Amino acid sequence: MNAFDLSIWIPILPFAGFLLIGLIGKKYFPSISGWLATLFMGVAAALSIYVAIDYFFLSAPSDGHYIAQEIINIPWLQFTDSLSINMGVMLDPISVMMLVVVTFVSLMVHLYSTGYMHGEKRYATFFAYLQLFTFSMLGLVLSSNLFQIYIFWELVGVSSFLLIGFYFDKPSAVAASKKAFIVTRFADLFFLIGILIVGVTGDSFDFNTIIINLTSPEGAGKLSATFLGVSIITWALTLIFIGGAGKSAMFPLHIWLPDAMEGPTPVSALIHAATMVVAGVYLVARLFPVFILTGSGAIEIVAYIGIFSALFAAVIACTQTDIKRVLAYSTMSQIGYMMFALGVSNMHHTDGFTASMFHLFTHAFFKSLLFLGAGVVIHAVHSNDMRDMGALRKYLPVTHLTFLIGCLAIAGVPPFAGFFSKESILHAAYATHPDIFYLALITSGLTAFYMFRLYFSIFWGQKEIHLHHFHGEAGWSMKLPLIMLGTLSVITGFVPFAEYITADGIPHLAETDIMFSIAPVLMGLTGIGIAMIMYKSANALPDRVASAGKSVYRWAYHKFYIDELYIFITKKVIFNLIGRPAAWIDRTIVDGTMNLIALMTTEISDSVKGMQSGKVQGYAMYFFAGVIGLGLLCLYIWL
């Protein structure tokens, strides 16, 4: 059997697992359901890798031009003669790449969860949900048309709702899952309108057909129609982007992401690192040829929302003390990177596309590594707060090492994976949008700072923590994923990405500009340095001062003085003047605006209740007023 034909089995496997565990396993074999689910995922991951090898290496066409292949495309609903809704499986470079990412990270999370969730009352249910989620995500990735992607998009939403609210006896978890569901649903409705408009304008839902229809000369005519002074297609793409922004937690629709950390930690690793949150990026990438078509419209919005979210989240991350919330904001920030990388592209510069996909690829590994590592830490300390942690490196050696690799990768230190992908993003931004480039540079410094603040607070820190009831680090089921993901976080940077994934399918030569990378690396190292001074050894400082000689003391005093200066600038200025207000705005204004909208709706609904008096004569009056109103309306049209 051809490898491509096997690709249909990749989503079917987790779905079968979901049915098997959800319907039968829960009752009859709950204890092995975790391993069963892991087995299903393992086969799916192996198949994905097989498909990827076949796609990129074995059956690559001789000219090296990767084309989109529709493996299956069944018409499902014929809406009008020309417009039909299909169900299909499409393989192209980005969907194959996503297949590997999703199945592999999901496999790691499954394996990890067999240890992490051990002894949970609803152990089997958890795995059933994980399988459902993975199925939905794979369906989304393989979709060949907008309608299908929307269906799976919603399924992803529903299954993530189940996973975030897994501890449903905890009110905060219930509230968080509800919030995530409603915020993303809110965004999805804009997505739906966008789909409708694209469907009608492009006369198809099929990605390839839409792109062909809209990029053809006849398509240009359709694009010129405007609504409120903006072209229809810009509207449509903006609306679709809003849908993507909701799932990908872009400002101001990110408010659900920090709260969603209420879910079990492996869930955060799966949903909030590698899969669901990048769905928005994937969506924009899917419609990339249409996005860059409109010139300065929707794509600019993508770029600026992306960079703003990246910077905003990075600033907030500096102030958080809940380790999962730091990771949540850092995810938002990194996805901001992927978004603006797409956004800085235009017809002539499409490097951003490759860079964005590259970052998506590497980020998936190191961010799920960080989340899983955080899970081990939380397991050991029984707290999410970094102030309860410190000096854990002695207790958790494997976690310590892999977490460090993850931090180095996200901070963009060579030769770890994040360095390469971030560098290519910055390169792409520099070519078209210097303003975004500089902001991104600052963000990368901040990223290094808050990640190492996290790292030092957990593993070094000031105070000695004595772990009670500590039974060793974790079982192999939890350590193995950390090690594998850690290894990948080191090596994936060396994948010559541009040779496989480009906007037009034609391989480019992957290149690294050493001179260019000096600035970002320096920014990263500075951030790490500041974090080290502030959080690694603040306690040791007085001791050294006391034991040193007088001249050394003076020098030390000066160093101390510099420390103070650092602390003054970072703690007082950055934290209080920028970080705190930003966090406050996030909590109060952004969240508040959403609440205000809800409140206003309720208020208005209160104020119209007078209409419903219960008196029939009043009803008749409204009825008659309605007739007259319609008459006036017609008169108005008629004149």
What are the tokens at 361?
């690829």
Task: Please identify, using beta-carbon distances, which residue of 68 and 158 lies nearer to another protein.
Answer: 158
Task: Please identify, using beta-carbon distances, which residue of 296 and 605 lies nearer to another protein.
Answer: 605
* CB of 332 vs another protein, minimal distance in Å: 23
Task: Please identify, using beta-carbon distances, which residue of 182 and 567 lies nearer to another protein.
Answer: 182
Task: Kindly report the length of the chain.
Answer: 639
Task: Please identify, using beta-carbon distances, which residue of 174 and 532 lies nearer to another protein.
Answer: 174
Angle, CA 504 vertex, CA 499 and CA 506 arms, to 5°: 35
* CB of 194 vs another protein, minimal distance in Å: 10
> Concatenated DSSP letters for 474-540?
--HHHHHHHHHHHHHHHHGGGS-GGGT--TTS--------HHHHHHHHHHHHHHHHHHHHHHTSTTH
Task: Please identify, using beta-carbon distances, which residue of 24 and 630 lies nearer to another protein.
Answer: 630
* CB of 83 vs another protein, minimal distance in Å: 8
Task: Please identify, using beta-carbon distances, which residue of 178 and 580 lies nearer to another protein.
Answer: 178
* CB of 282 vs another protein, minimal distance in Å: 19
* CB of 204 vs another protein, minimal distance in Å: 13
Task: Please identify, using beta-carbon distances, which residue of 196 and 541 lies nearer to another protein.
Answer: 196
Non-local (6+) Cβ contacts of 391 within 8 A are 459, 460, 461, 463, 464, 465
CA distance 451 to 457: 10
* CB of 261 vs another protein, minimal distance in Å: 19
CA distance 404 to 497: 25
- Closest listed residue to residue 93, CA positions, set 398, 507, 603: 507
CA distance 374 to 478: 12
Torsion of CA 564, 570, 573, 574, to 10 degrees: 180
The residues that bridge with 226 in the sheet, in sequence order, are: 231
Backbone angles phi, psi at 320, to 5 degrees: -80, 150
Task: Please identify, using beta-carbon distances, which residue of 86 and 319 lies nearer to another protein.
Answer: 86
* CB of 256 vs another protein, minimal distance in Å: 15
CA distance 171 to 179: 12
* CB of 155 vs another protein, minimal distance in Å: 7
Grouping H, G, I as helix, E, B as strand and the rest as coil, residue 231 is: strand
* CB of 116 vs another protein, minimal distance in Å: 25
Task: Please identify, using beta-carbon distances, which residue of 61 and 221 lies nearer to another protein.
Answer: 221
Chain contacts with another protein (rule: CB under 8 A):
76-80, 85, 150-151, 154-155, 158, 168, 174, 178, 182, 185-186, 189-190, 192-193, 196-197, 199-200, 227, 232, 235, 598, 601-602, 604-606, 608-609, 611-612, 614, 616, 618-620, 622-623, 625-627, 629-631, 633-634, 637-638
Q: Measuring CA to CA, how many Å separate 461 from each of 385, 387, 541? A: 13, 9, 13
What are the tokens at 398?
């494997």
